Structure 1
Amino acid sequence: MADLDKTESESIIIIDDVDLSTKEIKTQKSDFNPNVDIQIQLTETLGGFFHVTFGNSVDFILATITLKQGEIGMVHSYLFGSIISSLLLILGLKCLIFGIKVRDLPYPDTTAKVDASLMTLSSSLLVVFGALMHNSNSATILKFSRCAALLMPLIYVFYLIFKLKTHRYLYIKIYEQPKKQNNKPFSLPLVFLFLIILVVLSGLSADMLVNSIEGLVKVSVMSRSFIGLFLLPIVAKVPEIHSVKECYFGKQKFPEAICEVSDTCVQISLFIAPFLVILGWIIGKPMTLAFNLVETIALFLSVYLTSILVQGKSNWLTGVLRLAIFAIMGMVFFSFTDINAN
């Protein structure tokens, strides 16, 4: 048990240190924030895309390692947990922190409607697959999931074209960085090299973390479903939770925070989930898009409530409501036995 605790704590510490999202690296000359340097040197929206992509790399690595070990139920739980954590925990914290400083949090009405629609559509695809395939046989579910996994990335490509090309004007001001820059940004090759190194380190720590799950289940009262839905996503989101301080100190704008959460959910739903199905196809693991019905209901409620709360304006109370819903879901799933046991 001591070895288990040591392994798990080391994994969590490494992932916390390897922040691919927003954490700043202090140097003698300047504050090195790779994501800010990328956004300064690239277009605002393209920089935002790389910001989200590298931020999701921990989720991708953890899910991939878990899939290779044949823990398909855990992968399903983790993907859903990542989306729920982003919608309720991360967005709730940011709304609360922003709302403490500003009474009403404005958000461009057109952009809010577009982001809410895309987020709802992408997450609803997973909900629909889970509902339709719930009573189907395994062969049909697997075949349908693989066909859908080939088409869903195309939707994501169209989404990128919409955001990065045809309707970029909707997001330019959201991702726009302050003109004042005290220090010259680091070169793009150096920034990308730094981020790649962090991805490799994240992979090593994620592998240790996944290997400690079995022992954790044996020595604790937590089910595998709870670990996949809540514990692992929270560990992976530690850098984003840590970055909430940027909201308070004005280093991030509220519209940008909303866009980050929306982009994260869309990328997980339309790219990471189908990619894992294709990867499972290649390595001989029957990964499908037929998620557990209970998890599907939880995701639907999270997306629906977020769509209601994002209506062009927000405040600190909406943040409290999101956090309360997340806490209630956590207590409910903690009381369940393993919902993926069958």
Structure 2
Amino acid sequence: MRQKLFFTGLIVMFALSAIGHFAGFDMTLQFIISAIAIVFVAGFLGKATESVAHYAGQRLGGFLNATFGNAAELIIAIFLVKEGLFDMVKASITGSIIGNLLLVLGLSLFAGGLKYKQQKFNNQLAEHNSTLMIMAVIGLFVPAVFVGAEHFSLAKDHFLSLAVACILIVSYLLWLVFSMITHKDVLSDTEMNADHGEEPAWSKGTSIILLIVATVMVAFTSEWLVHTLDTFTERFGLSQLFVGAFVIAIVGNAAEHSAAIMLAMKNKIGAAVEIAIGSSLQIALFVAPVLILVSTLFGDTMDIIFTPIELTAIGVSVFIAKSVSRDGNTNWYEGFLLLMVYIILGFAFYLV
């Protein structure tokens, strides 16, 4: 009965969001409808991911959730890049990274910790994730410092951005080979691979098809919601930096929010961490560099130079997330601390 009501709500809200977009409803009303719709769609994506994870394993399931969740954000960002809205793109990248490390991971640890006194996952995986997070910070920090200090020409700026982008992409792809193939057994997690006697919601084939359908729905609802942001921003006096770093990022991360929290509350904290941290790493090491390469194809290269404010937010997020997750043990208070850092950054960004 509950599942029937959920899918009824999913279909109704998705249809209303589509009608509101194409019929030209008031922008604020469109924003509200699309925001509610994306909550349902994100829940659908979370259910499909969990069902796929039952067959593929929790670690691979977490990776798939992060990938499919970021697919919608990548699509939106490509449209923004095509329009030359580079500052908005960088702000949304920043927001996605800090949103996953602080909001998604924080809510997962908090919700899971309230139900289970202590949750554990593979500490070697935690150490590798920490190292990769530092690599991501280096990849974003070094170009900003050198370009700013040496006053590079536009040609040098673009060359350095493209070089760093290619290096980050190669590093991420080799991480997938390392973690999923050559060192798969070392980084495996017994708890992550346990199904706790649960039965999957759908068959393997149906789960894969529904995962694809859910991703497409996320892409559409996200695009419809982003379409309302300019008017919404002006009407409520919000800055583009705040909208890009928090509003767009929260919407883009809606899929990860629901899936990670559900898994954490089922004591599958390893999979939840894989979704939250894995998604941040994917954004920093793959999505952001890919957008730089895509912008070159459009004829106007977007540099990889982030502002001091954005770099500070990313650096602070990586520092606290690394401190919390490095030992492979989590509890509700650590989740609470992550959420408090996110709120601090939210107030700071709002006042910019």
TM range (shorter): 0.7 to 0.9
Aligned with residue 53 of structure 1, among 49, 62, 67: 67
| Distance of aligned partners of 1:202 and 1:326 in 2 relative to their CA distance in 1, 3 Å threshold | same
State percent identity of aligned pairs: 25
Q: Which residue of 2 aligns with 1:276?
A: 291
Q: For structure 1, which runs of at least 5 residues remain unmatched after alignment?
A: 24-32, 337-342
Aligned with residue 267 of structure 1, among 282, 296, 300: 282
Deviates more, 1:54-63 or 1:84-93: 54-63
Write the distance in 2 (CA, Å) between the matches of 1:183 and 1:289: 42
Mapping of residues 136-175 of structure 1, within 5 Å = 136-169=152-185, 170-175=187-192
Write the distance in 1 (CA, Å) between the matches of 2:45 and 2:227: 27
Deviates more, 1:60-69 or 1:289-298: 60-69
Question: Which amino acid is the alignment partner of residue 162 of structure 1?
Answer: F
Q: Which residue of 2 aligns with 1:257?
A: 272
How far apart are residue 217 of structure 1 and its match? 2.5
| Distance of aligned partners of 1:46 and 1:93 in 2 relative to their CA distance in 1, 3 Å threshold | closer
| Distance of aligned partners of 1:123 and 1:62 in 2 relative to their CA distance in 1, 3 Å threshold | farther
Larger fraction in helix: 2
Q: Which residue of 2 aligns with 1:178?
A: 195
Q: Which residue of 2 aligns with 1:34?
A: 48
Mapping of residues 1-342 of structure 1, within 5 Å = 3-19=26-42, 23=46, 33-42=47-56, 44-134=58-148, 135-169=151-185, 170-178=187-195, 180-182=197-199, 185-188=202-205, 190-243=206-259, 246-247=262-263, 249-250=265-266, 252-312=267-327, 313-336=329-352
Question: Which amino acid is the alignment partner of residue 14 of structure 1?
Answer: A
Question: Which amino acid is the alignment partner of residue 164 of structure 2?
Answer: A
Contact in 2 for aligned 1:124/1:300 (Cα 8 Å):
no
Q: CA RMSD in A?
A: 2.4
Contact in 2 for aligned 1:156/1:270 (Cα 8 Å):
yes
Question: Which amino acid is the alignment partner of residue 120 of structure 1?
Answer: I
How far apart are residue 179 of structure 1 and its match? 5.9
Question: Which amino acid is the alignment partner of residue 85 of structure 1?
Answer: G
| Distance of aligned partners of 1:279 and 1:240 in 2 relative to their CA distance in 1, 3 Å threshold | same
How many pairs align? 325
Q: For structure 2, which runs of at least 5 residues remain unmatched after alignment?
A: 1-23
Contact in 2 for aligned 1:20/1:54 (Cα 8 Å):
no
Task: Please list the CA deviations of residues 195-220 of structure 1 after superposition, one character each: whole Å capped at 9, or x if unmatched.
Answer: 33333333332322222222123212
Question: Which amino acid is the alignment partner of residue 63 of structure 1?
Answer: A
Write the distance in 1 (CA, Å) between the matches of 2:194 and 2:51: 10
Contact in 1 for aligned 2:71/2:215 (Cα 8 Å):
yes
Contact in 1 for aligned 2:63/2:274 (Cα 8 Å):
no
| Distance of aligned partners of 1:297 and 1:179 in 2 relative to their CA distance in 1, 3 Å threshold | closer
Contact in 2 for aligned 1:21/1:51 (Cα 8 Å):
no
The TM-score, its normalising length taken from structure 1, stands at 0.86
